[in-house]
Amino acid sequence: MNGRQRIADLEQEGEIAADYLEALLDIVDLDGDLDLDVEGERAVVAVVGDGLDLLVGSRGETLEALQELTRLAVLQKTGVRSRLMLDVGGHRARRRAELRDLATAVAERVKAGARPEKLKPMTPFERKVVHDLIATIDGVVSESEGEEPQRRVVVIPAN
């Protein structure tokens, strides 16, 4: 598939997701604007507005579930499994910044003490952010251990 067609397919995923989310927002009587984008190899949909914490939940669990439901809505319409990323109220952007700070601090401690450090359980999104950052830091590597919902990142000295 050529690049233009892939982008068009991802844009279609975003449109389907937006339609699904607009209907959901109407049902739960919440106001929010939808921003659609394509980043890398995935459609990104952001629900922007005030008072959307209900859609995020504590630790982002509701957001993760809503993302999965939205992906299923896209699958139902297209027949293709989506990797769509959903953000609500800027939660993922804020969490990404927090996780970068955490991962950097943990990497420095692991390098200084030469001992592995286990992080608290995280969502798949959160673990990916940490793994991606750790991969850019010399002297440490990371792996995941455990089963959902207790799956966590372990930062280990390299070698």
Count of CB atoms within 10 A of residue 31's CB? 11
Q: Provide the pLDDT for residue 85.
A: 95
Secondary structure class of 48 (helix, strand, coil): strand
Average pLDDT over residues 39-52: 93
Type of residue numbered 75: L
Tell me the domains of the chain and their CATH numbers. 3-89 (3.30.300.20), 93-157 (3.30.1370.50)
**pLDDT at res. 15:** 97
Residue 59 above 90 pLDDT? no
Tell me: pLDDT of 111 over 90: yes
Cα-Cα-Cα-Cα dihedral of 149, 71, 83, 8, to 10°?
-170
User: What is the mean predicted confidence (pLDDT) over 78-102?
Assistant: 94
Query: Residue range 116-127: average pLDDT?
Result: 93
DSSP 110-126: HHHH---EEPPP--HHH
Q: For 52-74, what is the mean pLDDT?
A: 93
Q: What percent of the chain has pLDDT over 90?
A: 87
Q: Does the pLDDT at position 1 exceed 80?
A: no
